[in-house]
């Protein structure tokens, strides 16, 4: 149950908002690094990596 | 009575949610006053994603799903109405706000899921739509200020909705229907002044609707008398906004009593510590009132015990506040009075410190009045927020240098906006063909690309393309005079402008503003040329 819906009556169906997962250390690092992006501060956004290990040589 | 779901779409996704949507909050109160059943889902505040939005849309049998916003909310609006049409097939989907008002016919085309669009001020129109729905009739063409679809799918634009005359007849916004404690008070900080930074319980207040100025980059949402209905040669009626030689305005403001009582109400109920006036321009109202409006607001601020009492650590009791000013319309006397009543910050759209640019934008200010107001405001103890824009149609190297010189002299630390032709603005009308061409003829892509003008979108500068503007902004911010001079030399060679002639193509333009021919790359200078 959540109160994301606010009004002057009770809707028929409750809106259940899933509990937010706490921020992981990886997420915290990437968020913090992004704020200081530039110059020697560059990083890998791990969720955006498209893995490709095929040897192309 | 209708069961209404208001949804506030996501805007400025790159930032945390900071502003309760004032229009939706007012419409919610007005609908509840008429006995309608209302729920608000503030998607911009919660940002819980599609799974929660689906639950919201199926939480009840909605008669109406209503949403609106400014043009930059378009992407979110598009997502919401698509889902709403699928999950609420019998609901009437109503869209209003600046996004619809600026381009009503185009928006109804882009968003076939929308049943009724509200053009301009919705304060009366929306309840009339609900009343018609309750009566079982669906003849939207009879409700002024709407655009809807006929049985054959053709768009029906009803007559223009007059603006309400007495703003004091409006109720207070339904703040309780928005997540004040959960979201908005947590994001109270506004980095415009020390007090703004320290605010813990900020609330937005709107004291007026209107602006007497005719800045060519600005759009007034059709609620400041700026909108007219015009018929073309084919007999098709459409909205029209500012155009050279055709400017219309209505100035409306709440009484000082209404405003201060509303702030006192919010102070007592929510313990607010900061009020951000979201008015287009407080000084316009003050001038229109014969210089009585702001003085009276300040007097009442003291009388109602709202004037802040400062503590040694910078905190305060009472309510600090900030708003918008204008370089030519302010004066030292009112600024001092405002400061004594708790004004901490004033936004000035200084835009530029180049005389020829200021003369071209319709602002009614000059570099001299910019500087004068700057010092007056500082002297009063208020922080001026010196907004700057580059990329105006006649922007050139001289204007960029004039800005840098002013920044140096005044100690301004700025990252300028890019001049952006938002739909509804005069420059959108003037440059529409060039804008569409920059997006391969796809106007919707331009609208989806629009943000808060801190990144480039459609370019209207005659001299500089997007790449140049981005680079020049960087050189300006680092006061890199040497590379600016060097680039001017290259730019002149590329444009074939001989020594002794001004560094400008204006009123001509570079290939990036061509309409008919495909863009050609400009000539490149090889090393050593």
CB of A51 within 8 Å of any CB in chain B? Answer: no
> Are residues B13 and B140 part of one domain?
yes
Residue B16 clears pLDDT 60, i.e. is over it: yes
- The three-state DSSP-derived secondary structure of B191-203 is CCCHHHHHCCCEE
B89 domain residue, yes or no: yes
Quote the CA–CA distance of B428 and B434 in Å, as a whole number. 9
A54 domain residue, yes or no: no
The string of DSSP codes covering B274-314 is EEEE--S-HHHHHHHTTS-HHHHHHHHHHHTT-S-EE-TTS
Quote the CA–CA distance of B262 and B25 in Å, as a whole number. 14
CB of A35 within 8 Å of any CB in chain B? Answer: no
CB atoms within 10 A of CB B34: 14
- CB pairs A-B closer than 8 Å: 52
- The pLDDT of residue A1 is 43
For B389-401, write each residue's pLDDT tens digit. 999 999 999 999 9
Quote the CA–CA distance of B9 and A56 in Å, as a whole number. 46
B434 domain residue, yes or no: no
Burial class (CB in 10 A: 0-12, 13-18, 19+), B478: exposed
Considering only the beta carbons, identify the residue of B37, B46, B176 that sits closest to A4.
Answer: B46
A20 domain residue, yes or no: yes
Which candidate, B166, B250, B253, places its Cα nearest to that of B212? B250
> Are residues B194 and B78 part of one domain?
no
Report the chain A residue with the minimal C-alpha distance to residue B32: A8
Residues 6+ apart with CB under 8 A from B310: B316
Q: Summarize the confidence of residues B385-392 as an average pLDDT.
A: 97
Q: Summarize the confidence of residues B180-186 as an average pLDDT.
A: 97
Contact B135, B103 (CB under 8 A): no
CB of A8 within 8 Å of any CB in chain B? Answer: yes
> Are residues B158 and B107 part of one domain?
yes
Contact B424, B432 (CB under 8 A): no
Place of tokens 């900030």: B322
Q: Do A13 and B55 touch (CB under 8 A)?
A: yes
**Structural domain for B76, as ranges:** 3-168
B454 domain residue, yes or no: no
Please tell me the total number of residues recorded for chain B in this structure.
529
Which candidate, B409, B393, B428, B396, places its Cα nearest to that of B512? B393
B219 domain residue, yes or no: no
A26 domain residue, yes or no: yes
B382 domain residue, yes or no: no
Mean pLDDT of chain B: 95
**Structural domain for A33, as ranges:** 1-44
For B405-424, write each residue's pLDDT tens digit. 999 999 999 999 999 999 99
Sign (positive or negative) of CA dihedral B335, B17, B223, B236: positive
Sign (positive or negative) of CA dihedral B389, B387, B276, B227: negative
- The pLDDT of residue B523 is 53
Report the chain A residue with the minimal C-alpha distance to residue B62: A11
CB of A39 within 8 Å of any CB in chain B? Answer: no
SS3 assignment, position B379: helix
CB of A34 within 8 Å of any CB in chain B? Answer: no
Residue B321 clears pLDDT 80, i.e. is over it: yes
Closest CA of chain A from B472, distance in Å: 18
B72 domain residue, yes or no: yes
Q: Looking at beta carbons, which pairs linking B147-150 to residues 24 or more positions away fall under 8 Å?
A: B147/B100, B147/B104, B147/B105, B147/B108, B147/B116, B147/B117, B147/B119, B148/B115, B148/B116, B148/B117, B149/B108, B149/B115
Residue B527 clears pLDDT 60, i.e. is over it: no
A57 domain residue, yes or no: no
List residues of B whose CB lies inside 8 A of any A CB.
Answer: 3, 32, 37-42, 46, 48, 51-52, 55-56, 58-61, 176-179
Burial class (CB in 10 A: 0-12, 13-18, 19+), B193: buried
Considering only the beta carbons, identify the residue of A8, A12, A17 that sits closest to B59.
Answer: A12
B460 domain residue, yes or no: no
- The pLDDT of residue A52 is 80
Mean pLDDT of chain A: 89
More confident residue, B496 or A50: B496
- What is the CA angle B357-B282-B162, rounded to 5? 95
Residues 6+ apart with CB under 8 A from B394: B356, B357, B360, B462, B463, B504, B506, B507
More confident residue, B513 or B525: B513
> Are residues B199 and B116 part of one domain?
no
Q: Summarize the confidence of residues A9-29 as an average pLDDT.
A: 94
Residue B358 clears pLDDT 50, i.e. is over it: yes
A51 domain residue, yes or no: no
Substitution target in B32, B39, B42, B58 with the highest count of A β-carbons within 10 Å is B39
> Are residues B370 and B335 part of one domain?
yes
- The pLDDT of residue B499 is 86
E strand or H helix that includes residue B336: helix B332-340
Share of chain B above pLDDT 70, in %: 98
Closest CA of chain B from A3, distance in Å: 9
Please tell me the total number of residues recorded for chain A in this structure.
57
**Band (A57; pLDDT cuts 50, 70, 90):** low
The string of DSSP codes covering B28-80 is HHHHHHTT-EEEEEEHHHH---HHHHHHHHTSS--SEEEEE--GGGHHHHHHH
Q: Do B39 and A5 touch (CB under 8 A)?
A: yes
Report the chain B residue with the minimal C-alpha distance to residue A3: B179
B351: left (phi over 0), alpha (psi -120 to 50) or beta: left
For B216-271, write each residue's pLDDT tens digit. 999 888 999 999 999 999 999 999 999 888 899 999 999 999 999 999 999 999 99
> Are residues B162 and B192 part of one domain?
no
> Are residues B142 and B194 part of one domain?
no
The string of DSSP codes covering B213-251 is ---TT---TT-SS--EEEE-TTS-EEEE--BTTB-----
For B454-511, write each residue's pLDDT tens digit. 999 999 999 999 999 999 999 999 999 999 999 999 999 999 999 889 999 999 999 9
Residues 6+ apart with CB under 8 A from A52: none
The CATH number of whichever domain residue B282 belongs to comes to 3.40.50
Quote the CA–CA distance of B241 and B451 in Å, as a whole number. 21
For B22-74, write each residue's pLDDT tens digit. 999 999 999 999 999 999 999 999 999 999 999 999 999 999 999 999 999 99
Q: Summarize the confidence of residues B352-380 as an average pLDDT.
A: 97
Max distance between CA atoms of chain B, in angstroms, equals 78
- The pLDDT of residue B518 is 53
Quote the CA–CA distance of B74 and B76 in Å, as a whole number. 5
> Are residues B39 and B141 part of one domain?
yes
- The pLDDT of residue A56 is 63
Q: What is the dihedral of CA B8, B424, B387, B16, to 10 degrees?
A: 10
> Are residues B202 and B72 part of one domain?
no
Q: Do A15 and B56 touch (CB under 8 A)?
A: yes
The CATH number of whichever domain residue B143 belongs to comes to 3.40.50.2300
Q: Summarize the confidence of residues B340-349 as an average pLDDT.
A: 97
Q: Do A9 and B37 touch (CB under 8 A)?
A: yes
Find chain B residues with C-beta within 8 A of A5's C-beta.
39-41, 56, 59
Q: Summarize the confidence of residues B169-183 as an average pLDDT.
A: 98
Quote the CA–CA distance of B126 and A41 in Å, as a whole number. 51
Q: Which of B376, B409, B424 is the last residue of a domain?
A: B376
Considering only the beta carbons, identify the residue of A6, A12, A17 that sits closest to B60.
Answer: A12
- The pLDDT of residue A48 is 86
Q: How many domains does chain B have?
A: 2
B459 domain residue, yes or no: no
Q: Which of B168, B196, B231 is the last residue of a domain?
A: B168
Contact B5, B56 (CB under 8 A): yes
Find chain B residues with C-beta within 8 A of A15's C-beta.
52, 55-56, 59
Closest CA of chain A from B461, distance in Å: 28
A55 domain residue, yes or no: no
Q: How many domains does chain A have?
A: 1
For B144-173, write each residue's pLDDT tens digit. 999 999 999 999 999 999 999 999 999 999
Q: Do B179 and A14 touch (CB under 8 A)?
A: no
- The pLDDT of residue B529 is 42
- The pLDDT of residue B173 is 98
Residue B525 clears pLDDT 80, i.e. is over it: no
Quote the CA–CA distance of B364 and B351 in Å, as a whole number. 12
A35 domain residue, yes or no: yes
Would strands B208-209 and A5-7 be described as parallel, antiparallel, or unpaired? Answer: unpaired
Substitution target in A5, A14, A20, A37 with the highest count of B β-carbons within 10 Å is A5
**Band (B522; pLDDT cuts 50, 70, 90):** low
């Amino acid at each position: 149950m959540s109160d994301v819906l606010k009004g002057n009556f009770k809707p028929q169906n409750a809106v259940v908002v899933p509990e937010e997962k706490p921020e992981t250390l990886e997420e915290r690092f990437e968020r913090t690094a992004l704020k200081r992006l530039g110059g020697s501060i560059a990083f890998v956004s791990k969720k955006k990596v498209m893995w490709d290990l095929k040897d192309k040589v | 009575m209708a069961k209404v779901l208001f949804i506030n779409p996501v805007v400025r996704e790159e930032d945390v949610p900071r502003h309760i949507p004032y229009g939706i909050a007012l419409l919610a109160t007005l609908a509840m006053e008429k006995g309608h059943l209302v729920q608000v889902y503030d998607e911009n505040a919660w940002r819980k994603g599609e799974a929660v939005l689906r639950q919201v849309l199926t939480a009840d049998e909605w008669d109406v799903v209503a949403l609106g916003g400014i043009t930059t909310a378009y992407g979110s609006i598009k997502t919401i109405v698509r889902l709403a049409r699928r999950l609420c097939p019998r609901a009437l989907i109503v869209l209003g706000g600046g996004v619809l008002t600026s381009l009503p016919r185009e928006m109804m085309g882009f968003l076939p899921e929308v049943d009724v669009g509200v053009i301009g001020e919705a304060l009366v129109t929306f309840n009339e739509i609900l009343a018609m729905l309750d009566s079982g009739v669906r003849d939207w063409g009879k409700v002024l200020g709407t655009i809807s679809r006929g049985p054959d799918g053709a768009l029906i634009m009803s007559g223009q909705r007059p603006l309400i005359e007495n703003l004091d007849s409006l109720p207070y916004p339904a703040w309780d229907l928005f997540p004040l404690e959960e979201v908005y008070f947590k994001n109270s900080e506004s980095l415009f002044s020390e007090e703004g930074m320290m605010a813990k319980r900020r609330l937005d207040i709107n004291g007026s609707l209107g602006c007497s100025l005719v800045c060519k980059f600005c759009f007034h949402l059709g609620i400041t008398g700026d909108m007219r209905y015009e018929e073309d040669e084919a007999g098709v009626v459409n909205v029209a906004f500012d155009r050279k030689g055709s400017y219309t305005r209505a100035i409306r403001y709440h009484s000082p009593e209404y405003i201060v009582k509303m702030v006192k109400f919010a102070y007592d109920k929510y313990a607010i510590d900061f009020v951000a006036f979201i008015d287009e321009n407080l000084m316009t109202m003050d001038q229109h009132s014969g210089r009585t409006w702001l003085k009276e607001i300040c007097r009442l601020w003291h009388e109602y015990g709202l004037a802040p009492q400062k503590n040694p650590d910078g905190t305060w009791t009472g309510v600090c506040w900030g708003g918008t000013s204008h370089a030519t319309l302010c004066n030292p006397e009112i600024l001092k009075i405002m400061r004594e009543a708790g004004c901490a910050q004033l936004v000035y759209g200084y835009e530029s410190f180049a005389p020829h640019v200021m003369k071209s934008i319709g602002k009614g200010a000059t570099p001299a009045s910019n500087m004068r107001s700057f010092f007056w405001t500082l002297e009063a103890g208020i922080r001026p927020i010196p907004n700057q824009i580059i990329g105006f149609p006649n922007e050139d190297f001289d204007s960029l240098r004039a800005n840098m010189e002013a920044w140096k002299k005044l100690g301004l630390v700025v990252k300028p906006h890019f001049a952006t032709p938002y739909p509804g603005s005069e420059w959108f009308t003037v440059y529409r063909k060039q804008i569409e061409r920059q997006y391969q003829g796809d106007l919707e892509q331009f609208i989806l690309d629009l943000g808060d003008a801190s990144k480039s979108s459609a370019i209207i500068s005659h001299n500089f393309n997007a790449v140049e503007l981005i680079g020049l902004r960087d050189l300006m911010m680092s006061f890199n005079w040497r590379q600016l001079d060097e680039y001017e030399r290259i730019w002149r060679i590329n444009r074939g402008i001989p020594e002794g002639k001004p560094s400008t193509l204006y009123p001509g333009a570079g290939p990036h503003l061509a309409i008919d021919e495909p863009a050609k790359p400009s000539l490149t200078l090889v090393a050593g040329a």
